[in-house]
Structures are given as structure tokens and as C-alpha cells.
């Protein structure tokens, strides 16, 4: 049944890097209510880069540790610097989806301990970067898109490698690891629009094993 109504396309975007179209659709409302519950305790905030710039993407986290940046650098922290409290626990629906998507992409036994929750409003963007604040690059990155569509840039191991432009829609999941674990990636400025469930924004959940 669900195959008829929710075709799940798989698109290879690199070596051990795959877009699983629609993989998160069945869980979308559960994911969205969990995001609201997380943001009620650990509000979205625009963090400051080590270079002193305010990021256009608003962020929060759940899990054992959360990714943060300030003038002193990037790192994973067990507590939310805004509230001083531990980050909200990772909801079961999050960990299950991330583990299932990772194994569908060929990475068995992925148990994330960190989930960065990104909130993009129209115009927000994320410039090319590598995810490299984690301790063990053998674990993949699992990235879930909800809300407005965006253009994901998926490049190579050098910043100068010309990135692929991958359109990401509500419910899409991207997994990258192995030889692609340290590829440069980013998100182009979000175009305005109105998503029926999410409104004028895009959420992204990025699952990682940080510790």
C-alpha cells in the first residue's frame, strides 16, 4: 500500500551518499510535534560563529550532547548555553528514523547521540562546510528535511570542488558516510513559500554520533 502512495526513490549523490526521498513522510507529524516540544525547552537561537558572525539559521539540539558555536569555537556541549540545562532527550521517533535510514543507506547499527535541529526562514542559508566536530568519522551523518523545499549543495573533499545541487523536499532524508563523510556541503538561501504543515520555514534534523 504505502509503496503505491509514497514512492520512495533512492538517489545516489556520492560514494556511500544517498538521498532517500520521502523516507520521513510517514513520521512527519510526530517529528514536527517533537520539534515543538524540544523548542519549548531549548529555544531556537541564532548562534555566533568563531569569526563573530550571527548565523542566519536558528538552531537547537536534542540528545546527549548538542552542537554549539560561539566566539571560542565549534564544539559539542552537554548543556544548552542559553538555559544552562541539559539538552532535551532525543525522542524515540528521531532515533528510530535515523537508525532505519542509516541502515537503508548501508550503515548498520547507527545510534545517534546528537541531533542538531536547524530552522531556516526565507533567506537563511548555510555556507559550505564539513561536519568534523565528531570523534569518530566511521559513523554517517543522517539529515532529515521538513517544510519548505531547499537546495542542498553536496560537494567534494575540497572546498573548491564544485557541489552538486540536490533539491530537498519535505520528508527527504540524506545519508552520507564512509569516503563521503567529510564532504563539503551547504544549503542555498531558502526561498519564500508556505508549507501546508510547517508554514514559512524549513526544519532540518541532523543526526550524528558525536562522542
Smallest distance from ligand SIN to CB 196, Å = 20
Binds 60: which of Fe ion, ligand SIN, none (CB < 5-8 Å by kind): none
Binds 124: which of ligand SIN, Fe ion, none (CB < 5-8 Å by kind): none
Exposure string for 177-195, b = 16+ CB within 10 A, e = fewer: beebbebbbebeebeeeeb
Cell of 180: 563521503
187 contributes a contact to ligand SIN by CB under 6 A: yes
What Å distances lie between residue 144 and 6, 46, 104, CA to CA? 16, 20, 14
What Å distances lie between residue 201 and 7, 22, 51, 90, CA to CA? 24, 18, 26, 22
Site string for ligand SIN, 157-186 (x = CB under 6 A): ----------------------------x-
Nearer to Fe ion, 87 or 184 (CB): 184
Smallest distance from ligand SIN to CB 186, Å = 7
Smallest distance from Fe ion to CB 131, Å = 4
Q: Where in 9-159 does DSSP place strands (E)?
A: 10-14, 17-20, 58-63, 66-70, 73-77, 114-120, 126-129, 141-147, 150-154
Site string for ligand SIN, 107-136 (x = CB under 6 A): ---------x-x-------x----------
Binds 59: which of ligand SIN, Fe ion, none (CB < 5-8 Å by kind): none
Cell of 70: 560561539
Q: Which residues bind Fe ion (CB under 5 A)?
A: 131
Q: Is 55 helix (H, G, I), strand (E, B) or coil?
A: coil
User: What residues make contact with ligand SIN under the rule CB under 6 A?
Assistant: 116, 118, 126, 143, 145, 152, 185, 187, 204, 206
Amino acid at each position: 500500500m504505502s509503496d503505491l502512495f509514497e514512492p520512495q526513490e533512492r538517489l545516489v549523490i556520492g560514494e556511500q551518499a544517498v538521498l532517500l526521498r520521502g523516507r520521513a513522510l510517514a513520521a512527519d507529524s510526530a517529528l514536527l510535534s517533537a520539534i515543538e516540544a524540544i523548542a519549548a525547552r531549548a529555544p531556537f537561537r541564532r548562534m555566533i560563529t568563531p569569526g563573530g558572525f550571527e548565523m542566519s539559521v536558528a538552531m537547537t539540539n536534542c540528545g546527549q550532547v548538542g552542537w554549539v558555536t560561539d566566539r571560542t569555537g565549534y564544539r559539542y556541549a552537554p548543556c544548552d548555553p542559553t538555559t544552562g540545562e541539559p539538552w532535551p532527550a532525543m525522542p524515540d521517533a528521531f532515533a528510530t528514523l535515523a537508525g532505519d535510514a542509516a541502515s537503508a543507506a548501508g550503515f548498520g547499527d547507527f545510534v545517534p547521540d546528537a541531533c542538531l535541529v536547524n530552522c531556516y526562514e526565507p533567506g537563511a542559508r548555510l555556507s559550505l562546510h564539513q561536519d568534523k566536530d565528531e570523534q569518530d568519522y566511521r559513523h554517517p551523518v543522517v539529515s532529515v528535511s521538513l517544510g519548505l523545499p531547499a537546495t542542498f549543495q553536496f560537494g567534494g573533499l575540497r572546498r573548491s570542488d564544485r557541489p552538486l545541487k540536490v533539491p530537498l523536499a519535505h520528508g527527504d532524508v540524506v545519508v552520507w558516510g564512509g569516503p563521503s563523510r567529510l564532504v563539503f556541503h551547504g544549503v542555498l538561501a531558502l526561498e519564500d513559500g508556505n508549507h501546508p504543515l510547517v508554514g514559512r520555514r524549513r526544519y532540518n534534523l541532523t543526526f550524528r554520533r558525536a562522542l
